[in-house]
Amino acid sequence: MTLSLQRQSLPKPALQSNFSNSGSLYKKGPFGGLFCYNGEAMNKKFEFELIKTDGKARCGRITTPHGIVKTPVFMPVGTAGTVKATTPEELVEAGAEIILGNTYHLYLRPGTDVLEKAGGLHKFMHWNGPILTDSGGYQVFSLAQAKDSLVKIKENGAEFRSYKDGSKHMFTPEGVIDYQLTIGSDIMMPLDYCPSAEASHDEIEKAVDITSKWFGKAWEHYSGLPKAKTDGHALFAIVQGGTCADLRQKSFSELSKWPVAGFSIGGVANAGESKEKQLAALESTLPLLPTDKPRYLMGVGEPEDLLMGIELGVDMFDCVTPTRLGRHGSVWTKKGKLNLHNSDLKTDFTPIDAGCDCYTCQNYTRAYVAHLIREDEILGARLATLHNLRFIIRLVTEARAEIEKGTFSKYKDNFLKEYSIK
């Protein structure tokens, strides 16, 4: 039987070989990402440039000490210092320009003392591109709820118990800034209060008020540190408010007092509401935000949601969905999600997604990857993850190109006509 899959080798994007030429500050990855060539912070300035708009959709460029990021951009999540089931070299090959780390998890393990001795997270994990870190506020509250443990909200921060061993810890607005400086984050998030999806209007308002007070403390600490210590470590503010338009307005009004580098939109991914209500939350927040600063929608990663966010003017996205789906045997295709556990894939000798340029689709069949998933082989999770990452990164990259051409709306409509949302 002749297989319909044509095997070919993709470029080998070894970080050392790609970034070893000292004749230039930045070197290109296979799909256009510009990275600091040797992993050292060379350009201390954080800058955002808005290049083109197409309706509300935008494309731009973020300059960080570790590389240039073209927006809109999807950021793979490396919660504990690794994007699960991938190497940094594979992330470059997939087209990743920036990744995300999580302060809560890195603080607990390996610990900021270890990261300081390692010279920061970039060196520790061998990633030469930009890193954005979440403050860990979401994890403090969500993991506490999941583990039925107590979180005590105080004027100066949040006291919580580790989900790992039950040990007691305290996150303060100032301390979270210091942890991220030790991590070496290019873009930092402040400590924020994330209410549950079922929270009432009063509870959400309380969270907005606390988040604003904490940000004031964080900014005072951040701006009071020596410039040599904070240069190249940009600080965003997080707009909260759930699905309440009045609280979104209140949150932004309070946070806009400070000259932050950008704005994040929190409380949408965990709103516990329909996509219609999540859309309403975005529509009540995005018009408030300045056009000359990047807008980051936290924790959203389904293809249809990214296209919706881009259409409304979002610049940055992150989510664990691509890697989580891959580990559990689910992959994205142009026609929608494909469950690799399906028995009818046993003799399907075509790529996961015809026309996909990822390593998996260029070298393996649905039948083989599905076999690995059914047998619980590690390689199956890796191949599915690599495909999902490339799929979602390519989607956003194509969206950016369509914005530049002024044809994004048509691109979005054509994609969603074929893509089945279940």
Nearest-angstrom CA–CA distance, 188 and 39: 18
Q: Which residues contact 183 (CB under 8 A, 6 or more apart)?
A: 101, 103, 106, 112, 115, 120, 121, 131, 133
Active-site residue flag, 357: no
- The active-site residue, picked from 134, 186, 305, 315, is 134
Active-site residue flag, 231: no
Nearest-angstrom CA–CA distance, 189 and 191: 7
- The active-site residue, picked from 54, 315, 318, 353, is 318
Q: Could you tell me which of 342, 11, 54, 63 has the C-alpha nearest to residue 187? A: 63
Q: Are 99 and 127 in contact (CB under 8 A)?
A: yes
Judged on CB neighbours under 10 Å (0-12, 13-18, 19+), 15 is: buried
Q: Are 73 and 300 in contact (CB under 8 A)?
A: no
Beta-bridge partners for 317: 74, 297
Q: Quickly list H helices, 225-274.
A: 227-230, 245-255
Return the H-helix or E-strand segment holding 134.
Answer: strand 131-134
By annotation, the residues acting in catalysis are 134, 318
